[in-house]
Structure 1
Amino acid sequence: MTGILLELDLTRGVLETPPSSPLAAFRARHLPTMRELVRALRKGAEDDQVVGLVAHLGGPPLSLAQVQDLREAVADFRASGKGAVAWTESFGEVGGGTVPYYLATAFDEIWVQPSGDLGITGVSVQATFVRGALDKAGVIPQFGKRREYKTAVDTFTEKEMTGPAREMASRLAESAYEQIVEGIAVRRRLELSKVRELIDSAPLAAQAGVDAGLVDRLGYRSDVYDELEKRMGETTPLLAERYVRRGPRNLKDLRESLPWPQKPVVAVIRISGGINVGRNSGGGPLGGPSSGSDTIGAALRAVADDDKVKAVVLRIDSPGGSYVASDAIRHEVLRLRATGRPVIASMGSVAASGGYFVAMPADVIVAQPGTITGSIGVLSGKGVVRDALGRIGISQEAVSQGQNARMYSAQEEFSPEQWERLEETLDRIYEDFVAKAAQDRGLPVADLEALARGRVWTGADAQERKLVDELGGFEHALRVACNRAGLDRDHIAVTAAPQRNFLDRLRPPESTEDLAAQAKTVSLTDGLTSAVYTALGLPPTGVLTMPMTWRLT
């Protein structure tokens, strides 16, 4: 029997969350999820039929936190004594290869095509400003924020980074850079100073990468596989996601797949995309998924009432959104904790603002060092487009009753009294956010407020400041949940909630809980609106939204 050579093809991208809408599922039908890849490596490490691992790097960039998830999984696979090889045509032809190379260093061996480059040029945090364009168009930006680091509104109100924004961006870049340099230095057995020197010398030709100790071998794909065949003998290459999706292949697999004896359950509840009031959305043609407080609340109540569920992992990958939706979810998390079962928050690439709000009541918060989190702050406002529309011959008139009926109209500026009310609202929400964060994290309000002010942190910096408890990925969070519940990680059932089969989706809802568990149908207009808002940096779902135009590359 030939051995299995597990393949990771990361050139297509990786999904954080399985698509919930039929259209999104069809579009992503051949893409693996992060959890599938991690599970495949964990399972492959224990499978005698799996003899090695080869990964093709490149394609859509992964976030720093996603790369750290994969690095941990590759390290666990290698600990079984099986070889792991990474290859690529080039680590970026014109830069942008730093994070992919950081992932490659988790493998035993790195191959690069002879004509390739090492574009390991460092880390950059980028922000976009449209104030100049708004001025030319005649749009009047009117936004308030709490506090100085809540920089999403700067996109519209400023033409460059403010002092606090630059300070925050500099630390984000510095923290990410420190993590990457240390990871490269440890795995390639180089001094930290040497790694920094090589990064400052990049981009490097492939041969220069070999000479510097950053690359092991030069070769094309066929060379990589020919070499692996010499080492391992004849093998059957198999994509990691296909490997983990296969049915039972032996007696051990069959025993693990049987529904009896019944195993204790750890439920996983995913909060992905913007947080809004209502039901989850699987995402439209142009918009991504969103998490509704009705759906997430129903899932939390369902697991609270299920005696088979012994622990819960909240997997959060969200920049936030609605304040009231986030608060409703937080309430249900606290209600679930009151049953005595541990609730562990596992942060993905980003869990900030409203995404942090729903994580903070958990028993333990786990994040990767490169997770983007914090952003404990609030923003609100509008862009007045009256003059801009007037320039192209469009005008509007309205008749209304009530002094503030048109308060949020894009046709009129805030009156002094309305602006005062907006400021009062911002103060009220910010104070509530800070007070609840302080309560959940067990910190004095004054100490928490100093860490808040809208500031975004990496997971590593957040952990140092007690906004995060432990560093690690989803598997680490799962182990923490098992330890807290007194369970054996190798003898549990991991289930997603809410869990609805095909027939459940077809049946009409019998109660509001049934209705809440259903994903909302998203129209083309919904997706287009969300995409436009995101492109402009507007918070599409609410006042607890982190800076949406910030990019770490």
Structure 2
Amino acid sequence: MVDAGAVVDLLKDARERRTAPLILELDLTDGLIDGPPADPVSAVISMRRAHLRDVLGGLRKGRSDPRVKALVVRIGGNRIGLAVAQELRAAVQAFRDAGKLTVAWAESFGETGRGTVPYYLATAFERIYLQPSGDLALTGVALEEPFFNEALEKAGITPRFAKRHEYKTAANTFMERSYTPEHREMSDRIVSSIGEQLVAGVAAGRGLPEDRVRELIDRAPLLGPEALEAGLVDRLAYRDEVYAEVRAAAGAEARLRYVARYNRAQGVSKRIPRPQQDVIALIQGHGQIRLGRSGRSLLPGQSASIGSDTIAAAFRAAAGDDKVKAIVFRIDSPGGSYVASDTIWREVILAREAGKPVVVSMGNVAASGGYFVAAPADTIVAQPGTLTGSIGVVFGKPVVGDLLDRLGIGLGSAEHGAHARMYAPTRDFTDEEWSRVNTFLDRVYDDFVGKVAEGRGLSPERVHDLARGRVWTGADAHERGLVDELGGLSYAVELARKKAGLAADAPVRSYPRVSPLDRLRPAESSDDRTAASARVDAWGPLTGVATRLGLPSGGPLLLPGSWEIR
């Protein structure tokens, strides 16, 4: 027997879901996914994490939705890079400007750890709440860069590397015992540029003089009451108290809704392009650049990779689609393989020749090979805190012959060809091999500089002055013409629409477009969209073994170390 009362309650609940005021909610403690999962397994693993595009889209739609009254965001941990934080700050500010309440809260901004970037993000909000037991580790910015030369020498390992040029510091990690003057100059400027951005953002967000913010940074980490007294937070409160205040402001009948779910629920018909509708193609590249297909490890902590086959296929598909009027290429990469980067570079050129404007949106890092593939775009957009440039090249190997001797390990060899063991780590380069190494480095560097000069409309001499392996922040790169505009992914999409002459709400379609069924069927040819679908890598920490087995890892256009500012 049907319970009439239950049916009425269900109908009432459904109506309230459509009409009740909304409080948008976002949890950033697990970070955001910037880009689509590389494969079905990654898609399942990341189902509970918010995607940057969904968050930006939800905040944009919420600005003009009268049902949306407020935004409450949990900020903590250290999972958001500086450039993404700056993109979120801009989105939150636009949400505030529409008259909506914005609240950031955290159990702690760095419990015995770094909290500068999370707090910098929080200062874009109207109100900041901190749990009474929490701290504010607004401790500034630092770079720590190890030098292993002496340790390698003690171990009997001789590093043999060459580079182009003095700011390309990957080799310094192994060749030097401390900073070279150029390395010191570059690192100091990166830290200064990022520090200037953080101070300015906190000062503007909290209504404090910049000198006062610098004083507080030098005093930090601050206890909760100290942060409250300094005006860095508005109240010390627990989650229930924070949400009670937000509900009081939004109305007792207001419902909570995650920003990403709200975005997906809003205007589904608008998000799915009609068959004859013109669109913007979005191609996303995240991770090290390598030959072959893009992929992602199943093991925690292992990043995705940008496969030249996958990205090239995406560009070919977008360039050949009459409904695609412009392309946005999102890059978050420290670089990698020169040859793979060149393959992608060529497809960007071909897309432009096919009449498709290409706008690059740089994420947290787009340097070395990540800049190489961006260079030919119509417009390069980066955040002030993006790390980019590193126009240079490095190559070499560790020579472990002395180590083997110390361990009492003999080594026999048989070879056919004067340079058959050129890349073997068991012996040094010969003079003739060093000559070939330097020829390779000169060829790659000159090609890199020439392509940047062509793409950016600069002379090779000017590019060389800016290059030499030097890493720039997005703000400094913009001043020097390596970046055209400052902004995030949303701004890049806006520029692409304008270049294509499309409406401001023209849909965005991700490329390559491969359905689950497509992944299961064999490709008919190399032009088939399934031929370059992403793969799962399970090597994880066994990457070195995988490389010995012939799988590519890294490359001469790779930015050394971990460069994400958090």
- Same fold, judged at TM 0.5 (above): yes
Q: Is the CA contact (8 Å cut-off) linking 1:298 and 1:516 kept in structure 2?
A: no
Would you say 1:242 and 2:255 are equivalent positions? no
**CA pair 404-515 structure 1, distance change in 2 beyond 3 A:** farther
Check 1:210–1:540 CA distance in 2 against 1; reply closer, same or farther (3 A cut): same
Using the TM superposition, give the Cα deviation of residue 244 of structure 1 relative to its aligned residue in structure 2, in angstroms.
2.1
Q: Is the partner of 2:555 in helix, strand or coil?
A: coil
Structure 1 position 514, deviation (Å): 2.5
Report whether the alignment pairs 1:337 with 2:355: no
CA contact (8 A) 2:514 2:533 kept: no
Local SS of the residue matching 2:360 = strand
Partner residue of 1:57? 75
1:283 is matched with which residue?
Answer: 297
Question: Per-residue deviation at 1:393?
Answer: 4.8
* Identity, % of aligned positions: 51
What do residues 395-453 of structure 1 show as CA deviations (whole Å, max 9, x unaligned)?
43221111111101111110111112111111111111111111111111111100000
Alpha-carbon separation, structure 2, partners of 1:259 and 1:200: 52
- Normalising by structure 1, we get a TM-score of 0.94
Which of 155, 162, 187 matches 2:173? 155
**Residues 523 and 56 of structure 1: is their aligned pair in 2 closer, same or farther, counting only changes over 3 Å?**
closer
Structure 1 residue 258 displacement after superposition: 6.0
Give CA deviations for 1:371-406 in whole Å, capped at 9, x if unaligned. Answer: 000000000000112332444454432211111111
Equivalent residues in 2 for 1:58-77, closer than 5 Å: 58-77=76-95
CA distance in 1, matches of 2:99, 2:211: 31
- 3-state SS of 1:513 partner: coil
Deviates most, 449-458 or 136-145:
136-145
Deviations 1:177-221 (A, max 9, x none): 101111111121111111111111212222222222211111111
- Aligned partner (choices 195, 211, 231) of residue 213 of structure 2: 195
The residue number in structure 1 matching 2:124 is: 106
- 3-state SS in 2 of match to 1:151: coil
Distance in 1, matches of 2:295 and 2:537, equals 10
Look up the equivalent residue of 1:397 and give its one-letter code.
G
* Structure 2: runs of 5+ lacking an equivalent: 1-15
2:525 corresponds to 1:530: no
Q: Structure 1 pair 520/3, CA: closer, same or farther in 2 (3 Å)?
A: closer
Instruction: List per-residue Cα deviations over 1:165-188 (Å, max 9, x = no partner).
Output: 111010000000101111111121
Counterpart for residue 60 of structure 2: 42
The aligned amino acid for 1:79 is D
Q: What is the DSSP-based 3-state SS (H/G/I as helix, E as strand, rest coil) of the residue aligned with 2:332? A: strand
Instruction: Work out the CA distance in 2 between the residues paired with 1:4 and 1:12.
Output: 23
2:377 matched to which residue of 1? 362
| Deviations, residues 125-172 of structure 1 (Å, cap 9, x unaligned) | 221222233223221111111001100111111222221111101000
Structure 2 CA distance for partners of 1:109 and 1:148, relative to 1, 3 Å: same
Q: State the Cα deviation string for residues 216-267 of structure 1 (Å, max 9, x = none).
A: 1111111101111221122222222222233x5xxxx265256547431100
Q: What is residue 203 of structure 2 aligned with on the other side?
A: 185
Name the SS of the counterpart of 1:61 in structure 2.
Answer: coil
1:354/1:257 CA distance change after superposition, 3 Å: closer
8 Å Cα contact 2:285-2:329 kept in structure 1 = yes
Q: 1:123 to 1:259 in 2, by over 3 A?
A: closer
Match of 1:312 in 2: 327
Is the CA contact (8 Å cut-off) linking 2:388 and 2:477 kept in structure 1? yes
Matching residue of 1:546: 559
Residue 505 of structure 2 corresponds to residue 487 of structure 1: no
CA distance in 2, matches of 1:523, 1:445: 39
Structure 2 CA distance for partners of 1:517 and 1:110, relative to 1, 3 Å: farther
Count of matched residue pairs: 542
Shift of 1:506: 0.8
- The 8 Å contact of residues 311 and 482 in structure 1, kept in 2 or not, is answered as yes
CA spacing shift, 1:160–1:497, aligned 2, 3 Å = same
Larger displacement relative to structure 2 (194-203 or 341-350): 194-203
How far, CA to CA, are the matches of 1:434 and 1:416 in structure 2? 27
Deviations, residues 465-487 of structure 1 (Å, cap 9, x unaligned) = 00000000000000111111111
Task: Write the distance in 1 (CA, Å) between the matches of 2:185 and 2:510.
Answer: 40
The answer on whether the counterparts of 1:124 and 1:552 sit within 8 Å (CA) in structure 2 is: no
> 1-side partners of 2:504 and 2:546: how far apart?
42
The TM-score, its normalising length taken from structure 2, stands at 0.92
The answer to whether the Cα contact below 8 Å between 2:30 and 2:79 also exists between their aligned partners in 1 is: no
Check 1:268–1:529 CA distance in 2 against 1; reply closer, same or farther (3 A cut): same
Q: Secondary structure of 1:12's match?
A: coil
1:128-143 map, 5 Å: 128-143=146-161
Q: Return the offset for 1:549.
A: 4.2
Q: Is the 8 A contact 2:513 2:529 kept in 1?
A: no
Equivalent of residue 527 in structure 2, options 513, 522, 526: 513
**Aligned mate of 1:427, from 442, 455, 466:** 442
- Residue 504 of structure 1 corresponds to which residue in structure 2? 518
**8 Å Cα contact 2:327-2:356 kept in structure 1:** yes
Equivalent AA in structure 2 for residue 34 of structure 1? L
Q: Secondary structure at the match of 2:114?
A: coil
Most deviating of 76-85 and 38-47? 38-47
One-letter amino acid of the counterpart of residue 555, structure 2 = G
Provide Cα deviations, 1:343-378, integer angstroms capped at 9, x if missing partner: 100000100000000001000000000000000000
Q: Which amino acid aligns with 2:37?
A: P
Q: What is the Cα deviation at residue 516 of structure 1? A: 6.7
SS, match of residue 511 in structure 1: coil
Structure 1 residue ranges (4+ consecutive) displaced by more than 6 angstroms after TM superposition: 531-534
CA contact (8 A) 1:41 1:77 kept: yes
